[in-house]
Amino acid sequence: MGVRQRRPRGETRRLILRLGARWLQQRGYHGFTFAQIADALDIQSGAVHYHFRGKEVLVAAVFARYREHFAWWCEQQAGARLSARDRLERFLDLEARNLDGERVDPLGLAGVEYPGLPAAACSEAEALRDEVAAWLTAVLDAGRQSGDFVFAGAARDQARLVMAAVQGGLQLARLHGARDFAAVRRALLAGLMREGA
């Protein structure tokens, strides 16, 4: 048996969190164990439990991490002078990254797994839903005011339609390939664009 290399402080926790997030999106809440995480990372199972008391703590931390990443991404978009259409396109690009690893959108995952998720993970997922919906609502409202977007009803309702289309497109892509997500994306944008835009 070889000598294990000592990792920099905090690195083991980050690796566990990253792998937990990937497997959660690929396999679902019941699709992996701490022992499998330890094996994949070549660490002792106790090390996983040291950083996360239980799977429910890990999964809540994963959803908190999704929220942190989305908040960081929003800050990056706020610094760029982009049209509402460009901001929506960037959001769709962000979601399309899930196609690379055959992952489900975190909110799509939460919707499917919700009854079996720990309460803390549900709370984090609900907060993420609210943050994504608020960001999309602002973008859609700005786009309607600038004349880039045309749609009936409230911007907040349209935001939920965008969220549902993205999650559904990612699910279809898992069954049939990335072209299904591309088709949903095209239809979504076409439905929002004013004539001649």
pLDDT tens digits for range 90-130: 999 999 988 877 777 889 889 889 999 999 999 999 999 99
d(CA 195, CA 197): 6
Tell me what percent of the residues of the chain surpass a pLDDT of 90: 76
CB 193 within 8 A of CB 148: yes
Q: Mean pLDDT for the chain? A: 91
82 dihedral zone (left: phi>0; alpha: psi -120 to 50; beta): beta
Residue 3 has pLDDT above 80, yes or no: no
> What are the residues facing 193 on neighbouring strands?
149
> What are the residues facing 149 on neighbouring strands?
193
Question: What is the pLDDT at residue 1?
Answer: 45
What is the per-residue pLDDT across 134-188, written as a single tens digit (0 to 9) for each? Answer: 999 999 999 999 999 999 999 999 999 999 999 999 989 988 889 999 999 999 9
- Enumerate domains of the chain plus CATH numbers: 55-192 (1.10.357.10)
Question: What is the pLDDT at residue 7?
Answer: 59
